[in-house]
A and B are shown apart, each in its own frame.
Chain A
Amino acid sequence: MTETNSRSFSPLYLIFVFLIAILLPLGLGLYLAPRVVPQPKIGVVRLTYEINSFTADLFKKQMAYARNDPAFKAVVVIINSPGGTASDSEEMFLEMLTTREQMPVVASIDFIAASGGYFTAVGADEIYAKSSAFIGNIGVIGLLPGGVFIEDDVLTTGPYKYFGSTRDGDVRTIETLKFAFLNAVQTGRGDVLQADPEFLSRAEGFDGVRSLELGLIDGIASTQNAIDRAAALAGIKNYEAVEIFDLVYDPEDFFFFAYHPSQQIDLERLWAQPTDLPPGYYYRYLKINSVR
């Protein structure tokens, strides 16, 4: 005799099972999805005006923040700078390279990326600029020391203990720094670079079109295009662009800089000649006035 082992399920039971089996995982999945797969972010870091220890410190903190937050998949550095101190410029360039090891870094040149500003830019995967931007001015400026002397009442242990370097030594140092700058450009731009070092060492500044031709940049693009490009390099298509400055600094800190990086650019300040450059080496565009 055949025994049928069958059970009948009430509709309520079936509904309950359906809810448990279908909706629970689905709901759980929907709950977890934004937490496990957050919307990717593209960090926006702005390098604006003079490069000095304050701007370099701000820049480094923002880049470190992007690296340490997994939501950030790429960084776009928007540059409006005539450069500044050599060591801070190089520091930011190295910061760019460090960040590149984790995520794409794209530079977007707005008005000017001259000298140290461009030094920083060449650390990016790609550089975009407007055709009207001022780009390049690759070179070094330094004040040569004056004559040396000794005094009766002050004893030093070497002829340059007072002065640090010889006049001729400073000439050599400045030239060596020029080569280091050129090396950074060659390193950063790689095969894209079309201009030879001798030409670049003329320290000319170029418009975006000429810069593209010389391989100093990768394209003519708006800042948004550059952000899109960073997203493409990061393999993301639905992202949020985030000003990292706001995540790093409190409003109280603004007084150090007297501006918010995302504020409208003060062109007068951007192009102004520096009024005080202490002794040192500078990757700086000066825009000298003359009445020749």
Chain B
Amino acid sequence: MSRIIRSILLFGLFLILLLSPLVVRYLGHYRLFSREARPPVPVYNPGEAVSVVPTPVSRLFTDEPEVTSSGYVLLDMAHGNYMDETDITYLDSRLSLRGHQFARFTGGDLATALRRVNAFVVIAPLNRFTNAEIAAVRDFVDRGGRVLMVGDPTRFNVIFSDDFFSFSYTIENDDIALNSLANEFDIIFTGDYLYNTVNNEGNFRNIIIEGSGISEHALTAGLRQIAFYGSHSLMVGNGGRALLTGDRNTWSSATDRPVSPALAVLNQNGRVLAVGDVDFLAAPYYTSLDNSEFVARIADFLVGSSERRFVLRDFPFFYSPNVNLIYAGSPDLGPSAFDDIIALQQAFRNVNIRLNLAAAPAANHDILYLGLYNQASELEDFLKQAGITLVIDPPITTDDEDKEDDSTGTPTPTPTSDNGDDTKKEKDVRQIQSSLGNIQMSGTSLILLDESQGQRRVIVLAASKAGLESTVNRLINMMPLNASYTLADCLVQDTLALCPSGVNNEEVEAELDTGGAPEPSATPVPGTGTTPAPDTGTEDELGAIRQGTISLGQTVNGTLEPDELHSWVFNGGPAVIDITVQGSNLDAVLELYDSNFELLEYRDSTFSNQAETIRAVNIPDGDNYYIVVYDYFGDPSDYTLTVTTSEAGSGDASIFIFVDDDGTPAAGGIRSGEAIAAVLAAQYETTIWTTSIDGPLSENTLAGYNVIIWDSGDYRTSNEVFDPDMLIIFGHVFDAGAALIIFGATPALLDFDGGDLVALSDIEATEDEPILMDGIAIGDVYALDRTYQVVNVLLEDIDPENDLLLFSGGPNSPAVTFAGAASQAEISIFFLLSPYVALPTTLQQILLPNILAWMGF
């Protein structure tokens, strides 16, 4: 073996020995033959693989409807509706193009609110409808009204977490309140949402309805694609139909199965449309696909009812915009008729209907007939069509005819009583014969709706002028959109009502005599509160429901419905009167207006169950004055209203004169107690309490006094509004209802600026209040006995609604804009920024009695 070979072998051995540990180690760590093949690393390139999701097309649609009518669509806002104005802006615009607009129903009687409309829209209510409301809508639909119900699965009662940015939320309640109404029409909003992960509009919950999913109907004709943005599925009972249906890839979250669900359905009679989504109505979603056209079709549906059938209780909303008022029998019309006509015209105007007095019917005008039974011969055909016969046997003659009859011995008809008692003469028949039975004319008014000959006419007949006026008032009270149902005490069919006229011992009069004002009746008018025969003013301008007339010394009762105002007419002047109202649970507010509806007095100074009184109001003439009564919170309540001659000046006052001289005197110490007592001595009992002599007031010091005169003279307390005497005085004033008179340069009540004083040397009258300023004319200037530094009260501290600014600084006191005022808003209070004895003697003699008279003493 050569050396070379041996060297190679040795080197090989060396290498083997060198590498063998590495090989052994490698083989110990790695698998030589069992390594698994790995697929190549995939290429991730979404830029190529994923397409951008496009915004859907907005199909051009020109909405040019033919406007054939105008009116309102009632929009429910009374059930916690989870919507806002932006949701319905586009639908509102479509309705406007069709001559209609939304009227908001925010509460009250739904049946009453539905009277004026052809359609009712309910969007995402969170509160259930009551049985009465469901019945009202059912009745509305049965009479041709149309209803749109829109639900939305995104509009639940949801409580969000406190963290605004958090996704965390809890669903409080998934009850679909809309079903309370929908179920009445065999429609169910399923508690689900729909989704489609295959064919959708940008998101699984945005459902595209197309092709066979759009059924043939006037609401959907020509539509190719609709997109709903979060929708319930709907179910409809037999006879109903699905208008929009999702495809087979549309699943319900309730079942997670493909269900081909309905997203919009019509009920059996086609008058109730239910839609599972709100958002498609709203921007920007109404611009998607054919949504805008579908919204327009819905607007067509809402305004297009030709089946609407009205009944009497829909009065006056079934009328066309122009109505003629015709008096049956063509009587000569006098002043009291004018009152009726004016009141009716005003009431009609408030509901956008023009009422014109006419002698005969005219084409294109609906009609309101007013008349007496005895003068209704021209209406006989209409009455006969309604199955009504008026029987007056023997016939009633006019006065002239009576005179003739008297001479021939024909008996004058005797009035019949309501219950047809023994006073009814056997041969006198005064009956309304109808399907409701035979009713005595006396005490009964008839209201009939007739829709023959292409016109709507309401015939109102009564036995007497007073009965007719009462019934006219009943009609007026029916008109406000939120009016309570005023036919509740009537015998009612759809088009006929026989109502009590509210006139006791009513005669069946021969002819309508409207020559003078009617006598107020003391008999309550059913359905409009327990009121006397109503006056016929125009109180509607006050927004109050007229109750009638109240005379001096009379007490009347009334019943306030929720949010209702009552107005009463007082025309018993001239007089100085007190007006008092009190009722159970009534937080009364009293207002007094003059004949021009200018507010004279306003009083809201007490709380629930306490009497509210306007005292010593000077009614200078016999014009109509209007007393308005309402509850501060709008709660329903019974009340009693009384108008009495004011006891002002009666001397029935127990007066406490509090000379508050425990402060710092600015002008040497001025007290007016003796002077005040001297002025009042002739008519009133007074007690003087002087702090420096009698000490501070205690809790019981003021007990039994109904007038507190607080005289601080020129003294100024350092306690300001925390003055303990003031706390006691105001405690007594509020608790006992006492009146308060304040004299002083720096009374604690007004001294809250702590040092901001101005010079006052004369005062000038600025008000001509008839009682307070009796004997004082505007512009009269009274010099004080010297110049006083008085508190600087700013004019903006005066409430112009309730406070009377009586005196300002005179010509020599230009810095004083406020020197004296009075108010009866919260309490009855008068104050003058001057010591009483600083006033001229003549003014002292005039002013104090005036103040007490104004306060009702």
Contact = CB atoms under 8 A, between A and B. Distances in A.
Interface string B196-215: 01100011101000000000
Interface stretch (B8-16, B394-402, B818-826): B8-16
Residue among A21, A235, A238 with the highest chain B CB neighbour number at 10 A: A235
Contacts of A184: 44, 46
Interface in B504-538: none
Interface in B15-48: 15-22, 24-26, 28-31, 34-36, 38-39, 41-44, 46
Given A32-B21, A36-B22, A290-B171, A276 B163 contact: yes
Contacts of B249: 198
A201 B197 CA distance: 7
A168 interface: yes
20 contacts: A22-B17, A24-B14, A25-B14, A26-B17, A33-B21, A33-B25, A97-B41, A167-B284, A174-B203, A190-B39, A198-B197, A232-B31, A235-B35, A238-B28, A238-B29, A274-B167, A275-B168, A277-B166, A289-B170, A290-B171
Interface stretch (A45-53, A55-63, A175-183, A250-258): A175-183
A127 to B, nearest CB: 14
Given A237-B30, A274-B168, A276-B165, 5 more contacts: A21-B17, A22-B17, A141-B167, A233-B36, A235-B34
A183 B31 contact: no
Interface string A222-250: 00000000001111111100000000000
A277 B31 contact: no
Interface residues on B, range: 35 or more
B703 interface: no
A187 B197 contact: no
A52 to B, nearest CB: 15
Interface of A is mostly: helix
B50 interface: yes
Interface of A: 21-22, 24-26, 28-30, 32-34, 36-37, 39-40, 93-94, 97, 100-101, 104, 125, 141, 167-169, 171-176, 179-180, 183-184, 187-188, 190, 198-199, 201-202, 232-239, 273-278, 286, 288-292
B694 interface: no
B203 A187 contact: no
B44 A33 contact: no
A25 to B, nearest CB: 4
A288 to B, nearest CB: 7
A29 B18 CA distance: 4
A170 B54 CA distance: 11
Interface of B: 10, 13-22, 24-26, 28-31, 34-36, 38-39, 41-44, 46, 49-55, 163, 165-172, 174, 195, 197-198, 202-204, 206, 249, 284
Residue among B30, B43, B174 with the highest chain A CB neighbour number at 10 A: B30
A277 B16 CA distance: 65
Nearest to B47: A180
A158 to B, nearest CB: 18
Contacts of B20: 26, 29
Nearest to A104: B38
Contacts of A97: 41-42, 44
A37 B203 contact: no
B21 A176 contact: no
B34 A288 contact: no
A94 B42 CA distance: 11
Contacts of A235: 30-31, 34-36
Contact of B166 (A232, A234, A236, A275): A275
A277 B202 contact: no
B175 to A, nearest CB: 10
A172 B56 CA distance: 10
A175 B284 contact: no
A33 B31 contact: no
Contacts of A176: 50-53
A150 to B, nearest CB: 17
Given A21-B14, A26-B18, A235-B35, A288 B167 contact: yes
Nearest to B22: A33
B52 A25 contact: no
A240 B21 CA distance: 20
B30 A28 contact: no
Given A198-B198, A292-B171, A278 B29 contact: no
A290 B21 contact: no
Contacts of B171: 290-292
